[in-house]
Structure 1
Amino acid sequence: MVVQVKKEEKKVILTKPLSLEGESNSDTSYTTPNLLQRVLSLFKNVRPGSDLTRFELPPQFNFPKSQLQCHGESVYCTGLDVLSMCNTGQNPQERFISVVAWCISTTRPATFGVAPFNPILGETHHVSKGNLNVLLEQVSHHPPVTALHATDEKENIEMIWSQQPVPKFNGTSVEAKVHGKRKLRLLNHGETYEMNCPHLLFKILPIPGANWVGNVNIRCQETGLVAELSYRSSHSFLGLGGNHKVIKGKIFDSSSLKVLYEVDGHWDSIVKLKDTNNGTVRVIYDAKEVISGLKTPIVKDAESVWATESAYVWGETSQEIMNKNWEKAREAKQVVEEKQREMLRERESKRKSWKPKHFTVSYSKEEGWDCSPIHKWVSDAPIIAQ
């Protein structure tokens, strides 16, 4: 399903969220034939170890979404309200377990050979679902840094993220390491949970595929509880057979280092938790409940959609990609990118620096990027997630 809204002769295009593999999704049936050969051709002049941050993809390798939308969807597109469950736990351990499940729910399937648009500087994505309001802004272009602020006034929950993907070509694969911090605050309980994100690995040879890999640490400073999760790509011979989206880990008390629970499963299906004290096992996450059957967001108030909104900025390019009109998609994409270059030249000529509209941003070698929201609460959005 595609939602189109005319705004100043440009289209606001919203497409179905990324969901579990195998689900019918007409919005993503735009990949070109001979994809592996095209990917190999794309990287034929790229040296192993190269940083791909400034690498520009032809539209044939884009799907009709900005990276901001992908980040946002991982928060507001859920079939089950995992976030509210974090608030209802009767004790710190139960709340921490719910936060672990919520963290896993933000991991969404990736597709080999296609990637979202690189957001332009100042691009935003603003969506509401129920009482949850989500706002993202591209606060830096080189390097690419995205800030996210999400609030639920009813539940008294706040999220603050900063993310910087650093993709590198490794000869037979591309690995996008995601730097930055994610904070989830349960204000009713006075608890802040800090976590990082796994890395996205695109394997080109011998078997093409996309998967999340790496270690994720979740820590609550107030309670001393820590989770260490490992995303693994478990392959059989030549990568054939089995489910490769493995997640394993543990939850422990940082003061005593005692392991309280063991985590085991697959992030795209079932994740179980084992109590090390009594051996009982329970399911804490079911991907089919959370990230299947997701619906396309809708535009509630077209007049209130910002000119910086991702679905507006890339609307024409997205439409042409879905139409498989590659020449028009290329032209539309060039218009967006050239406008960004013109704005940069204008700022440089006037010796003006660009400042984010919704975040205060700082950087240090020790702490990385810090993105603090200017406003306490995110406002209601004109785009609604169903």
Structure 2
Amino acid sequence: MVTEGKEEMRLVLTKPLTIDGESNTDYAAPNPLQLVLSLFKNVMPGSDLTRLQLPPLFNVPKSHLQCFGESVYCVASDIISRCNSGESPLDRFIAVVTWSISTVRPVIFGVAPYNPILGETHHVSRGNLNVLLEQVSHHPPVSALHATDEGENVEMIWCHHPTPKFYGTSVEAEVHGKRLLKLQNHGETYVMNSPKLLIRFLPFPWADWVGNVRIQCQESGLEAELCYRNTSFLGRRGNQRSIQGKVFESYSLKTLYEIDGQWDRTVRMKNKNNGKVTVIYNAKEVISGLRAPIVKDTREIWASESALVWSDVSRGILSKNWEKAKEAKKAVEEKQRELQRERESREENWVPKHFTVSHSKEGGWECSPIQNWVPEAPIIVPL
């Protein structure tokens, strides 16, 4: 935990989760079965869980915005520079596939981050990479991310719209929205989606990422298909967190490489032409030993910053003072309801500060950053 600045500007910033889905701080709920029983009692199968409010006992001390941001700025090696420095379109495409895999991070069964409030932001820098997130909608929950690296001339634009649903013995959260990675020096844009989160309660509890991810680059005519699986059965440890896929040419559908491995360990790539196998991703090298961000300048912290908005709740959780955390969370939520009532009384619509939001023809959400480049943040990740 990092606490800096004046009493009213005490931020709480914690380390990201490790490969094993754990941290130096024990975030596990004392009895995850309570959460299961609560869902069975209060939620009907097939229900949308986006409005479900969890008690702090089942929260980790950070917002979903922070978790989205950590998947970009919390890395032990600079994969983005490798994407940009690839000599050929194929080299760069493989590097982007590797980067996409690196953004998938472990989760802990029984606990979840806070649901961001409307207008909440998270602004962090790691070296030349500046990352800004904003919660652009509350119901439904939609998060937007914009990250730029002026040194590498790279830009990322994400739009996340998770839709968790309860199915009796499981919760399935599909993450709608596109992820764009732009390599400006090469005039290439890579478009991809996210895997979905599956939480099972029976016959044994577990939570992990599953489903298909597609990565496309129209300029190079290359595509990749990745399939995330968890094949453990009845609690036995099998080939968990496995990933399989391929890289192929869009126009001919010719497979160039086959991909397989485990995204929390190593992922290999086999050249279909000569049979050569290489390791393209090693999770220990990328998401091990990650450090918590620190506050560089409290005077530049926005009032909407996640680490500030939820600071009292997070301190309650970290100290296991559940009553304090409960009251602090109630205060945050009630303040948002009050602001909503004030806007309605003035017949005003809330407008995001950092993104322009629109709806696509397919019914999804699209978020476009207002600024060309993300400014340097007052919160930084130590290198």
Same fold (TM over 0.5): yes
- State the secondary structure of the residue aligned to 2:182: strand
Partner of 2:139: 142
Alignment of 1:197-212 (within 5 A): 197-212=194-209
- State the secondary structure of the residue aligned to 1:4: coil
Partner of 2:16: 17
Q: 1:152 aligns with which of 136, 142, 149?
A: 149
Partner of 1:263: 259
- State the secondary structure of the residue aligned to 1:86: helix
Alignment of 1:114-263 (within 5 A): 114-236=111-233, 238-263=234-259
Contact 1:360 1:373 in 2 (8 A): yes
Identity of matched residues, %: 66
| 1:309 matches 2:302 | no
Q: TM-score, normalised by structure 2?
A: 0.98
Q: By how many angstroms is 1:40 displaced?
A: 2.3
Alignment of 1:73-112 (within 5 A): 73-112=70-109
> What amino acid is aligned across from residue 57 of structure 2 in structure 1?
Q
Alignment of 1:273-312 (within 5 A): 273-312=269-308
Contact 1:122 1:139 in 2 (8 A): yes
> What amino acid is aligned across from residue 15 of structure 1 in structure 2?
T
Counterpart-to-counterpart distance in 2, 1:80 and 1:364: 35
| 1:65 matches 2:62 | yes
| 1:336 matches 2:335 | no
Contact 2:177 2:193 in 1 (8 A): yes
Contact 1:36 1:208 in 2 (8 A): no
Q: Structure 1's 367 and 183: CA in aligned 2 closer, same or farther, altered over 3 A? A: farther
| 1:353 matches 2:349 | yes
Contact 2:35 2:58 in 1 (8 A): no
For residues 313-340 of structure 1, the C-alpha deviation after alignment (integer angstroms, 9 at most, x for no partner) is 0011001001111111000001111111
Partner of 2:367: 371
Counterpart-to-counterpart distance in 2, 1:251 and 1:182: 18
- State the secondary structure of the residue aligned to 1:331: helix
Counterpart-to-counterpart distance in 1, 2:155 and 2:202: 41
Q: Structure 1's 30 and 161: CA in aligned 2 closer, same or farther, altered over 3 A? A: closer
Contact 1:30 1:324 in 2 (8 A): no
- State the secondary structure of the residue aligned to 1:378: coil
| 1:384 matches 2:383 | no
**Aligned CA-pair RMSD:** 1.2
Q: By how many angstroms is 1:36 displaced?
A: 2.1
Counterpart-to-counterpart distance in 2, 1:22 and 1:316: 24
Partner of 1:26: 24
- State the secondary structure of the residue aligned to 2:4: strand
Contact 2:27 2:111 in 1 (8 A): no
- Unaligned segments of structure 2, at least 5 residues: none
- Unaligned segments of structure 1, at least 5 residues: none
For residues 191-219 of structure 1, the C-alpha deviation after alignment (integer angstroms, 9 at most, x for no partner) is 00000000011111111111100100000
Q: 1:362 aligns with which of 358, 361, 383?
A: 358
Q: By how many angstroms is 1:83 displaced?
A: 1.1
